[in-house]
Amino acid sequence: MKILVTGGAGYIGSHTLIELYKAGHEAVVIDNLCNSSSESLRRVGLITGAKIPFFKVDIRDSKGLDGVFDTHPDFDCCIHFAGLKAVGESVSKPLEYYENNINGTLVLLDSMRRHGVKNIIFSSSATVYGNPAVIPITEKCPKGECTNPYGQTKSMLEQVLTDLQKSDPEWNVVLLRYFNPIGAHESGMIGENPNGIPNNLMPYITQVAVGKRKELGVFGKDYDTPDGTGVRDYIHVVDLARGHVCALKAITGKCGLAIYNLGTGHGYSVLDIVNTFQRVNGVTVPYSIKPRRPGDIATCYSDPAKAYRELGWKAQFGIEEMCRDSWNWQKKNPNGFEGE
Protein backbone atom coordinates (compact mmCIF):
# COMPACT_ATOMS: atom_id res chain seq x y z
CA MET A 1 0.00 0.00 0.00
CA LYS A 2 1.05 3.62 -0.40
CA ILE A 3 0.83 5.48 2.88
CA LEU A 4 0.89 9.18 3.74
CA VAL A 5 2.75 9.43 7.05
CA THR A 6 2.26 12.71 8.93
CA GLY A 7 4.86 13.36 11.62
CA GLY A 8 7.09 10.72 10.03
CA ALA A 9 10.33 12.37 11.17
CA GLY A 10 9.38 11.92 14.82
CA TYR A 11 10.09 9.13 17.26
CA ILE A 12 7.27 6.70 16.50
CA GLY A 13 6.87 7.79 12.87
CA SER A 14 10.50 7.10 11.96
CA HIS A 15 10.34 3.59 13.45
CA THR A 16 7.06 2.94 11.66
CA LEU A 17 8.56 3.90 8.30
CA ILE A 18 11.10 1.10 8.70
CA GLU A 19 8.43 -1.49 9.48
CA LEU A 20 6.26 -0.29 6.59
CA TYR A 21 9.11 -0.76 4.12
CA LYS A 22 10.03 -4.13 5.63
CA ALA A 23 6.45 -5.25 5.00
CA GLY A 24 6.61 -4.10 1.36
CA HIS A 25 4.66 -0.85 1.65
CA GLU A 26 5.77 2.58 0.48
CA ALA A 27 5.42 5.90 2.24
CA VAL A 28 5.49 9.65 1.73
CA VAL A 29 6.31 11.78 4.78
CA ILE A 30 5.04 15.19 5.75
CA ASP A 31 6.39 16.90 8.85
CA ASN A 32 7.02 20.52 9.80
CA LEU A 33 10.04 19.39 11.87
CA CYS A 34 8.84 21.39 14.91
CA ASN A 35 9.90 18.52 17.18
CA SER A 36 12.22 16.50 14.97
CA SER A 37 15.05 16.65 12.51
CA SER A 38 15.35 15.57 8.89
CA GLU A 39 18.43 13.64 10.06
CA SER A 40 16.09 10.94 11.37
CA LEU A 41 14.69 10.52 7.86
CA ARG A 42 18.20 10.37 6.38
CA ARG A 43 18.98 7.55 8.80
CA VAL A 44 15.72 5.74 8.04
CA GLY A 45 16.86 5.91 4.40
CA LEU A 46 20.17 4.26 5.34
CA ILE A 47 18.39 1.51 7.28
CA THR A 48 15.72 0.75 4.67
CA GLY A 49 17.73 1.53 1.54
CA ALA A 50 14.62 3.37 0.32
CA LYS A 51 14.36 6.94 -0.88
CA ILE A 52 11.27 8.10 0.98
CA PRO A 53 9.73 11.31 -0.40
CA PHE A 54 9.60 14.04 2.25
CA PHE A 55 7.60 17.28 2.25
CA LYS A 56 8.32 19.89 4.89
CA VAL A 57 4.67 20.82 5.26
CA ASP A 58 2.55 21.78 8.23
CA ILE A 59 -0.69 19.81 8.48
CA ARG A 60 -2.52 23.11 9.10
CA ASP A 61 -1.44 24.31 5.66
CA SER A 62 -4.26 23.30 3.35
CA LYS A 63 -2.49 24.47 0.17
CA GLY A 64 0.70 22.69 1.17
CA LEU A 65 -1.28 19.48 1.69
CA ASP A 66 -2.97 19.90 -1.69
CA GLY A 67 0.50 20.05 -3.24
CA VAL A 68 1.37 16.70 -1.66
CA PHE A 69 -1.90 15.07 -2.79
CA ASP A 70 -1.47 16.50 -6.30
CA THR A 71 2.03 15.03 -6.58
CA HIS A 72 0.88 11.72 -5.06
CA PRO A 73 -2.74 11.15 -6.05
CA ASP A 74 -2.66 7.45 -5.13
CA PHE A 75 -2.50 7.17 -1.34
CA ASP A 76 -4.31 4.17 0.13
CA CYS A 77 -4.18 5.37 3.72
CA CYS A 78 -2.83 8.02 6.06
CA ILE A 79 -1.03 7.21 9.30
CA HIS A 80 -1.39 10.38 11.32
CA PHE A 81 1.33 10.92 13.93
CA ALA A 82 1.77 14.68 13.62
CA GLY A 83 0.95 16.51 16.82
CA LEU A 84 2.39 18.17 19.89
CA LYS A 85 2.74 15.75 22.79
CA ALA A 86 4.32 17.31 25.89
CA VAL A 87 1.80 17.00 28.71
CA GLY A 88 3.29 19.75 30.93
CA GLU A 89 3.71 22.19 28.05
CA SER A 90 0.10 21.63 27.04
CA VAL A 91 -1.02 22.90 30.45
CA SER A 92 0.85 26.19 29.99
CA LYS A 93 0.09 26.51 26.25
CA PRO A 94 -3.43 25.13 25.79
CA LEU A 95 -4.27 27.28 22.77
CA GLU A 96 -1.16 26.17 20.91
CA TYR A 97 -2.01 22.52 21.62
CA TYR A 98 -5.67 22.78 20.59
CA GLU A 99 -4.71 24.79 17.53
CA ASN A 100 -1.96 22.46 16.36
CA ASN A 101 -3.52 19.11 17.18
CA ILE A 102 -7.22 19.78 16.61
CA ASN A 103 -7.10 22.35 13.84
CA GLY A 104 -4.22 20.48 12.17
CA THR A 105 -6.21 17.25 12.10
CA LEU A 106 -9.35 19.01 10.80
CA VAL A 107 -7.38 20.57 7.94
CA LEU A 108 -5.75 17.21 7.18
CA LEU A 109 -9.09 15.36 7.18
CA ASP A 110 -10.68 17.94 4.91
CA SER A 111 -7.79 17.63 2.50
CA MET A 112 -7.94 13.82 2.58
CA ARG A 113 -11.67 13.90 1.88
CA ARG A 114 -11.28 16.31 -1.05
CA HIS A 115 -8.66 13.99 -2.54
CA GLY A 116 -10.70 10.85 -2.00
CA VAL A 117 -8.43 9.33 0.68
CA LYS A 118 -10.77 8.05 3.36
CA ASN A 119 -8.61 5.67 5.37
CA ILE A 120 -6.78 6.84 8.47
CA ILE A 121 -4.86 5.34 11.37
CA PHE A 122 -4.68 7.79 14.26
CA SER A 123 -2.13 7.97 17.10
CA SER A 124 -4.23 8.04 20.20
CA SER A 125 -3.17 7.35 23.74
CA ALA A 126 -4.02 5.43 26.86
CA THR A 127 -4.44 8.86 28.38
CA VAL A 128 -8.03 8.87 27.01
CA TYR A 129 -8.95 6.32 29.71
CA GLY A 130 -8.15 8.89 32.41
CA ASN A 131 -7.98 7.15 35.76
CA PRO A 132 -9.10 3.80 34.34
CA ALA A 133 -12.27 2.19 35.62
CA VAL A 134 -10.79 -1.33 35.19
CA ILE A 135 -7.28 -2.80 35.07
CA PRO A 136 -6.11 -4.30 32.77
CA ILE A 137 -7.73 -1.80 30.43
CA THR A 138 -9.75 -3.20 27.54
CA GLU A 139 -11.10 -1.07 24.71
CA LYS A 140 -14.54 -1.39 26.32
CA CYS A 141 -13.33 0.55 29.34
CA PRO A 142 -15.12 3.92 29.27
CA LYS A 143 -13.07 6.97 28.42
CA GLY A 144 -12.22 9.03 31.48
CA GLU A 145 -11.42 12.58 32.42
CA CYS A 146 -8.16 13.79 30.89
CA THR A 147 -6.17 15.95 33.27
CA ASN A 148 -4.40 18.08 30.64
CA PRO A 149 -5.04 19.76 27.26
CA TYR A 150 -2.81 17.28 25.42
CA GLY A 151 -4.96 14.38 26.58
CA GLN A 152 -8.09 16.37 25.73
CA THR A 153 -6.90 16.78 22.14
CA LYS A 154 -6.56 13.00 21.79
CA SER A 155 -9.96 12.38 23.30
CA MET A 156 -11.63 15.08 21.18
CA LEU A 157 -9.95 13.90 18.00
CA GLU A 158 -11.16 10.36 18.65
CA GLN A 159 -14.68 11.84 18.78
CA VAL A 160 -14.15 13.86 15.60
CA LEU A 161 -12.97 10.76 13.74
CA THR A 162 -15.81 8.66 15.15
CA ASP A 163 -18.40 11.23 14.02
CA LEU A 164 -16.78 11.54 10.60
CA GLN A 165 -16.88 7.78 10.06
CA LYS A 166 -20.50 7.68 11.20
CA SER A 167 -21.44 10.41 8.73
CA ASP A 168 -19.79 8.69 5.79
CA PRO A 169 -19.29 4.91 5.95
CA GLU A 170 -16.73 5.09 3.16
CA TRP A 171 -14.27 6.15 5.84
CA ASN A 172 -12.23 3.54 7.68
CA VAL A 173 -10.78 4.84 10.92
CA VAL A 174 -8.42 2.99 13.25
CA LEU A 175 -7.80 4.57 16.65
CA LEU A 176 -4.62 3.14 18.17
CA ARG A 177 -4.32 3.80 21.88
CA TYR A 178 -0.63 3.59 22.70
CA PHE A 179 0.56 2.78 26.16
CA ASN A 180 4.13 3.89 27.03
CA PRO A 181 6.50 3.60 24.07
CA ILE A 182 10.22 3.33 24.89
CA GLY A 183 13.24 1.65 23.26
CA ALA A 184 14.74 2.28 19.87
CA HIS A 185 15.67 0.55 16.63
CA GLU A 186 18.30 -2.15 17.22
CA SER A 187 20.84 -0.24 15.09
CA GLY A 188 20.87 2.61 17.62
CA MET A 189 20.65 5.01 14.65
CA ILE A 190 17.21 6.40 15.50
CA GLY A 191 15.43 6.91 18.78
CA GLU A 192 13.62 9.36 21.00
CA ASN A 193 15.16 12.81 21.00
CA PRO A 194 13.31 15.08 23.43
CA ASN A 195 13.83 18.83 23.46
CA GLY A 196 15.09 20.22 26.77
CA ILE A 197 14.41 18.43 30.04
CA PRO A 198 12.65 15.13 29.32
CA ASN A 199 9.13 14.74 30.72
CA ASN A 200 9.04 11.00 30.32
CA LEU A 201 10.73 8.38 32.43
CA MET A 202 12.97 6.53 29.97
CA PRO A 203 14.59 9.54 28.26
CA TYR A 204 15.25 10.97 31.72
CA ILE A 205 16.91 7.71 32.82
CA THR A 206 19.11 7.54 29.71
CA GLN A 207 20.18 11.17 30.14
CA VAL A 208 21.16 10.48 33.75
CA ALA A 209 23.05 7.36 32.66
CA VAL A 210 24.93 9.28 29.96
CA GLY A 211 25.88 11.99 32.46
CA LYS A 212 23.70 14.82 31.13
CA ARG A 213 21.58 14.97 34.30
CA LYS A 214 22.55 14.35 37.90
CA GLU A 215 19.80 12.09 39.16
CA LEU A 216 16.34 10.84 38.40
CA GLY A 217 13.45 12.12 40.49
CA VAL A 218 11.02 9.29 41.21
CA PHE A 219 7.61 10.94 41.41
CA GLY A 220 5.97 9.39 44.47
CA LYS A 221 6.57 6.23 46.48
CA ASP A 222 3.24 6.08 48.23
CA TYR A 223 0.99 4.81 45.47
CA ASP A 224 -1.09 1.70 45.99
CA THR A 225 1.31 -0.44 43.92
CA PRO A 226 3.71 -3.25 44.95
CA ASP A 227 6.68 -0.90 45.58
CA GLY A 228 4.73 2.36 45.90
CA THR A 229 5.90 3.83 42.55
CA GLY A 230 3.73 4.30 39.46
CA VAL A 231 3.04 1.27 37.26
CA ARG A 232 2.86 1.56 33.45
CA ASP A 233 2.67 -0.65 30.38
CA TYR A 234 5.95 0.05 28.57
CA ILE A 235 6.05 -1.08 24.97
CA HIS A 236 9.03 -1.31 22.62
CA VAL A 237 8.67 1.30 19.88
CA VAL A 238 9.44 -1.32 17.21
CA ASP A 239 6.51 -3.43 18.45
CA LEU A 240 4.37 -0.31 18.39
CA ALA A 241 5.53 0.44 14.84
CA ARG A 242 4.59 -3.09 13.77
CA GLY A 243 1.17 -2.51 15.29
CA HIS A 244 0.59 0.14 12.63
CA VAL A 245 1.51 -2.27 9.84
CA CYS A 246 -0.98 -4.78 11.29
CA ALA A 247 -3.62 -2.06 11.59
CA LEU A 248 -3.50 -1.71 7.81
CA LYS A 249 -5.27 -5.10 7.77
CA ALA A 250 -8.25 -3.48 9.47
CA ILE A 251 -8.26 -0.76 6.83
CA THR A 252 -8.08 -3.33 4.01
CA GLY A 253 -10.89 -5.27 5.67
CA LYS A 254 -13.04 -2.12 5.65
CA CYS A 255 -13.29 -1.94 9.42
CA GLY A 256 -15.41 1.21 9.61
CA LEU A 257 -14.38 2.39 13.06
CA ALA A 258 -11.96 0.19 15.01
CA ILE A 259 -10.16 0.84 18.29
CA TYR A 260 -7.13 -1.07 19.56
CA ASN A 261 -4.91 -0.86 22.60
CA LEU A 262 -1.24 -1.23 21.76
CA GLY A 263 0.50 -2.37 24.91
CA THR A 264 2.18 -5.50 26.25
CA GLY A 265 -0.35 -6.24 28.99
CA HIS A 266 2.39 -6.09 31.65
CA GLY A 267 2.79 -3.37 34.25
CA TYR A 268 6.21 -2.30 35.53
CA SER A 269 6.91 0.20 38.28
CA VAL A 270 9.35 3.10 38.04
CA LEU A 271 11.79 1.20 40.25
CA ASP A 272 11.40 -1.97 38.13
CA ILE A 273 12.50 0.09 35.14
CA VAL A 274 15.42 1.74 36.96
CA ASN A 275 16.64 -1.60 38.35
CA THR A 276 16.30 -3.44 35.02
CA PHE A 277 18.04 -0.61 33.17
CA GLN A 278 20.99 -0.71 35.59
CA ARG A 279 21.27 -4.51 35.50
CA VAL A 280 20.95 -4.99 31.74
CA ASN A 281 23.27 -2.15 30.80
CA GLY A 282 25.77 -2.28 33.68
CA VAL A 283 25.33 1.43 34.41
CA THR A 284 24.26 3.35 37.50
CA VAL A 285 21.21 5.58 37.62
CA PRO A 286 21.18 7.63 40.83
CA TYR A 287 17.69 8.58 41.94
CA SER A 288 15.82 10.18 44.79
CA ILE A 289 12.18 10.05 45.79
CA LYS A 290 10.23 13.22 45.01
CA PRO A 291 6.60 14.21 45.59
CA ARG A 292 3.91 12.82 43.30
CA ARG A 293 3.59 14.57 39.92
CA PRO A 294 0.17 16.26 39.60
CA GLY A 295 -2.17 14.42 37.26
CA ASP A 296 -0.35 11.06 37.52
CA ILE A 297 -2.27 7.88 38.24
CA ALA A 298 -1.06 4.85 40.18
CA THR A 299 -1.47 2.07 37.65
CA CYS A 300 -2.12 1.85 33.93
CA TYR A 301 -1.70 -1.25 31.80
CA SER A 302 -3.53 -2.73 28.88
CA ASP A 303 -5.36 -5.82 27.92
CA PRO A 304 -3.99 -6.08 24.36
CA ALA A 305 -5.98 -9.23 23.44
CA LYS A 306 -8.22 -7.51 20.89
CA ALA A 307 -5.30 -6.48 18.68
CA TYR A 308 -4.06 -10.08 18.73
CA ARG A 309 -7.46 -11.54 18.03
CA GLU A 310 -8.34 -9.22 15.17
CA LEU A 311 -4.99 -8.11 13.75
CA GLY A 312 -2.66 -10.94 14.79
CA TRP A 313 -0.50 -8.34 16.53
CA LYS A 314 1.31 -9.01 19.77
CA ALA A 315 4.31 -7.30 21.36
CA GLN A 316 7.47 -9.39 20.97
CA PHE A 317 10.02 -7.48 23.05
CA GLY A 318 10.32 -7.55 26.83
CA ILE A 319 11.41 -4.94 29.30
CA GLU A 320 15.09 -5.96 29.13
CA GLU A 321 15.23 -5.39 25.38
CA MET A 322 13.46 -2.05 25.83
CA CYS A 323 16.08 -0.95 28.38
CA ARG A 324 18.95 -2.27 26.24
CA ASP A 325 17.81 -0.51 23.07
CA SER A 326 17.02 2.79 24.79
CA TRP A 327 20.55 2.85 26.16
CA ASN A 328 22.13 1.75 22.87
CA TRP A 329 20.51 4.74 21.14
CA GLN A 330 21.45 7.23 23.89
CA LYS A 331 25.07 6.16 24.27
CA LYS A 332 25.64 6.23 20.51
CA ASN A 333 23.90 9.61 20.24
CA PRO A 334 24.48 11.50 23.49
CA ASN A 335 23.17 14.67 21.83
CA GLY A 336 20.40 13.04 19.84
CA PHE A 337 20.43 13.88 16.14
CA GLU A 338 22.52 16.98 16.68
CA GLY A 339 25.88 15.22 16.77
CA GLU A 340 28.66 15.85 19.27
Comparison of 176 and 258: residue with beta carbon closer to ligand UFG: 176
**Residue 161 found at the interface with ligand NAD (CB under 6 A):** no
At 102 the three-state DSSP class reads helix
**Residue 58 found at the interface with ligand NAD (CB under 6 A):** yes
Q: What is the DSSP string of 38-72?
A: HHHHHHHHHHH-----EE---TT-HHHHHHHHHH-
The residue ranges that bind ligand UFG (CB under 6 A) are: 85, 87, 125-127, 178-180, 199-201, 204, 216-219, 230, 232, 270, 293, 296
The entry of ligand NAD, ligand UFG, none that residue 230 binds, CB within 5 to 8 Å by partner kind: ligand UFG
For residue 5, give the H/E element and its range.
Answer: strand 2-6
Give the one residue of 4, 35, 216, 327 binding ligand NAD; rule: CB under 6 A: 35
At 259 the three-state DSSP class reads strand
Comparison of 52 and 209: residue with beta carbon closer to ligand UFG: 209
Question: Exposed (0-12), middle (13-18) or buried (19+): which is 306, by Cβ within 10 Å?
Answer: middle
Instruction: Name the active-site residue from 150, 178, 204, 234.
Output: 150
The entry of ligand NAD, ligand UFG, none that residue 285 binds, CB within 5 to 8 Å by partner kind: none
Comparison of 31 and 239: residue with beta carbon closer to ligand NAD: 31
Comparison of 296 and 321: residue with beta carbon closer to ligand UFG: 296
The answer to whether 79 and 4 are in contact (CB under 8 A) is yes
DSSP at 128 = G
Give the one residue of 2, 25, 42, 60 binding ligand NAD; rule: CB under 6 A: 60
The entry of ligand UFG, ligand NAD, none that residue 219 binds, CB within 5 to 8 Å by partner kind: ligand UFG
Beta bridge partners of 6: 30, 80
150: annotated active-site residue: yes
**Residue 234 found at the interface with ligand NAD (CB under 6 A):** no
For residue 181, give the H/E element and its range.
Answer: strand 180-182
For residue 236, give the H/E element and its range.
Answer: strand 234-236
Nearest to 32 by CA among 86, 83, 106, 89: 83
At 90 the three-state DSSP class reads helix
**Residue 36 found at the interface with ligand NAD (CB under 6 A):** yes
Residues 78-117 touching ligand NAD, rule: CB under 6 A, are 81-85, 100, 104
Residues with a known catalytic role: 150
* Residue numbers at the binding site for ligand NAD (CB under 6 A): 7, 9-13, 31-36, 58-60, 81-85, 100, 104, 123, 125, 178, 181
